[in-house]
Homo-oligomer: A and B are copies of this chain.
Amino acid sequence: MVTIYDIARLSGVSKSTVSRVISNHPYVSTETKRKVMKVMQEHNYVPNSLAIQFRQKQTKCIAILIPDLSHPYFSQLVKYISADCYKSGFKTVVHQTFLDKSREREVYTQLQKNEYDALILTSSTLQEEEIAEFTGNNIIVACNEDFRGDYFDVFCLNEEEVTMNVTSYLLSKGYTKLGFCSDNISSPLQQARLKGFILAHEKKEIIHNKNFLFNEISTIEDGIILGNRLFKENLEIDGIIAGSDFVAAGLISSAVRKNIQIPQRLAIIGFDNHPISLVTNPQMSTICNHIQDMSNDLVNHIVNKMNGVKHHPIKKVYNGEFIERNSS
């Protein structure tokens, strides 16, 4: 491996000068610059990032914590965040926790060990307080998960409100035996949605059926299986707020197969406005998340923070919009 020292020797200057050439420092004569560059080319020199990172105490690398990439919401989120990080000169390391607490903790440890310049949290199975302990001087920012925002910055959707609005809407249309699907009900996000769901019922003084609260439903297959269990000739449920468009797609396909009219006998509403909502039959009503804006704001915010802009933790909330199609 050819080092900066070799280049210095070979071109008859000092290491410092070579270093200056590399980092495009001013105060180096065009003549020596040319000379050094030539030698670097000839010897195919590439600076060793490991040494630079070590020296500068930064990795230009941001970690992102998600439950599972096969969930389209999270793969979209990672897509945008990763692309935005790239624009700002950062690489992204993706960590899937598969909802395992110890895997999550490992990532916080890596952060403490300086393996990343910042950590983006999109979902967590730990308490906000426990995460805060790992923070120290490290940058942790939450995106998607509806944390309180006492310890770190939060960017999220108005989960509670939008779920409440949609639930109210269904109730006022006469769908009164509603179901609710969650993925992992212990998370702040899912809790917020559930709260919205319940609040809407309370406002209308309608009692929701606790048997229609379904947890750990997150994939197309889960939706199909749930539908197959639920949908029969004398239907007890007349509407479902699914946790994602994929779950909703599974439910719709199951209902169609059992000849249950949507939306006449059963309303189904998804979450995320994924393109899959366009190919179900009938097309799906859903809720638009603003992941692209969220990601953009988030990465800008992190970059500012790295440049030393300090402030109390902020919480930015985006409004999810209901997109009505033909399943409600």
List chain A positions with a Cβ less than 8 A from chain B. Answer: 46-51, 53-54, 57, 59, 61, 68-70, 72, 75-76, 78-79, 82-83, 86, 91-96, 98, 103, 109-110, 112-115, 219-221, 224, 246, 249-250, 252-253, 256, 275-276, 278-281
Contact = CB atoms under 8 A, between A and B. Distances in A.
A96 B114 CA distance: 24
A319 B82 CA distance: 33
A99 to B, nearest CB: 13
A19 to B, nearest CB: 15
Given A49-B114, A54-B54, A115-B49, A219 B70 contact: no
Given A49-B114, A110-B49, A221-B275, A94 B94 contact: yes
A116 to B, nearest CB: 9
26 contacts: A46-B112, A46-B113, A48-B114, A61-B93, A68-B79, A70-B79, A72-B75, A75-B75, A82-B94, A86-B95, A86-B103, A91-B93, A91-B115, A92-B93, A92-B94, A220-B276, A224-B279, A249-B276, A250-B278, A252-B279, A253-B278, A253-B279, A253-B280, A253-B281, A256-B281, A279-B280
Chain A at the B interface: SS class: helix
Contact of A96 (B82, B98, B113): B82
A283 to B, nearest CB: 8
B220 A113 contact: no
Contacts of A72: 70, 72, 75
Contacts of A96: 79, 82-83, 86
A243 to B, nearest CB: 15
Nearest to A274: B220
A144 B110 CA distance: 31
Given A57-B50, A59-B50, A75-B70, A220 B250 contact: no
A68 to B, nearest CB: 7
Contacts of A221: 275, 278
Nearest to A77: B69
A55 to B, nearest CB: 9
A68 B47 CA distance: 29
A85 to B, nearest CB: 10
Contacts of A91: 93, 95, 110, 115
A252 B219 CA distance: 21
Given A253-B279, A279-B224, A113 B69 contact: no
B46 A50 contact: no
